[in-house]
Amino acid sequence: MRIAVEGCMHGDLDNVYKALQYMEQVQNIKIDLLLCCGDFQAVRNEYDLKSLNVPPKYRAMNSFWKYYSGAEIAPYPTIFIGGNHEASNYLWELYYGGWAAPNIYFLGVAGVVKFGNIRIGGLSGIYNARHYRLGHYERPPYNEDTIRSVYHVREYDVQKLMQVEEPIDIFLSHDWPVGITDYGNWKQLVKFKPFFEKEIQERRLGSKAAAELLEKLKPPYWFSAHLHCKFAALVQHGEGGPLTKFLALDKCLPKRKFLQVIELEAEPGPYEIHYDEEWLAITRRFHEIFPSTAKNANYGNLRLQMQDCRQWVQSRLKERGAKPFEFVMTVPCYDPSRSVSNSPLAGCNRNPQTESLLKFLELPYLLDDISESGPSGSSIPFSDSGSFVNSEDIQIDDIDDGDEESAEPEDA
């Protein structure tokens, strides 16, 4: 099985798919799956742009809407996680994962799926210490604070992933695990990204949550993006222990290292994306403490004995099958020929895929519960000097590529 991995998509699906098709032709190979490490920007229409955390003048429809509408079909099964530049209102509809468009699957805020016999896990968003132990209190339409905090990683979702016991083959995170630079050529890295050096030395470059998951899950492969550069590392987990090959990739631009293809031993195809039995059991068990306000989950009340829950899920999957519920459009798609003012654009929606999955698991729908704006009902300020500096606070070239690009090598 050949799997292509891409760094930050930034809505540029057309060019990424063209690059893969060119690679197939030149190298005479077949790509079975594409993985994207965040900043996917699944923007369906102009309303979704309002949930994208970039200055308004940089907001653009790009190309995802064509795949959402069916005008284009993804030539490869595509699985993605969220980053810090997303149509957060749409991804919230698919909190548990689901088809964002035909043949394009969102792994969820946290999730595990199977592709053939390969297990793929992922964690969306980026780490910020101030919001880590809060619940999911943000709801669209977002204000200037919640449009940023909505994509900050929460302890609840990390705790779900920490319950995974069966081996994960590939794990995706948007930001890097903190300390991962210890296992690669960080001196070479800071030659091209000199502003990373202080954060590396102070162990603030990256995600503490991702580092905990790396230590627990020990997957053979871990891919990240976010910092717009290629960086490789090899982590050995204890003396004689398993190895994790880590690779961070760039964003899709000419002369940038944004793609990597790996080959894995796998059962014969054809391959399909399927629900993962263990993950559905974890989802069902954790649902009762889902934190739908700023208050964190109460883990003390959680019964973590999984055997009965696992058997129940196994029985349900045997009855129905493990294919995800079918894609459903929930809002009108962008139409270049139509004025925005005439577009009947909806706000927050219940996605039928999410409703069907929860019904299948016999769980209540909690995503549209009325939320608190923050602790004690007040808005949470975004900036925080005590948070890990891995994302919004260090210089990366999401918006202004001026001085930043000069630090990139010619062939990056």
What distance in Å separates the CA atoms of residue 403 and residue 412, rounded to the nearest whole number? 15
The C-alpha angle 398, 400, 404, rounded to 5 degrees, equals 90
Cα 373-376-380 angle, rounded to 5 deg: 50
Domain boundaries, the chain: 2-338+346-361
Eight-class DSSP state of 149: H
Q: For every one of its 412 residues, what pLDDT tens digit does the chain have, with 9 covering 90 and above?
A: 999 999 999 999 999 999 999 999 999 999 999 999 999 999 999 999 999 999 988 899 999 999 999 999 999 999 999 999 999 999 999 999 999 999 999 999 999 999 999 999 999 999 999 999 999 999 999 999 999 999 999 999 999 999 999 999 999 999 999 999 999 999 999 999 999 999 999 999 999 999 999 999 999 999 999 999 999 999 999 999 999 999 999 999 999 999 999 999 999 889 999 999 999 999 999 999 999 999 999 998 787 778 999 999 999 999 999 999 999 999 999 999 886 644 444 455 899 999 999 999 999 999 987 644 454 443 444 333 333 344 454 444 543 333 233 333 333 3
Backbone dihedral region for residue 329 (phi beyond 0: left; psi -120 to 50: alpha; all else: beta): beta
User: Would you call 232 helix, strand, or coil by DSSP?
Assistant: strand
How are strands ordered across the β-sheet holding 33-36? Answer: 98-101, 104-106, 78-80, 33-36, 2-6, 259-263
Distance CA 309, CA 339 (A): 50
CATH topology of domain 2-338+346-361: Purple Acid Phosphatase; chain A, domain 2 (3.60.21)
This prediction has a pTM of 0.91
Structure tokens, 308: 């009965």
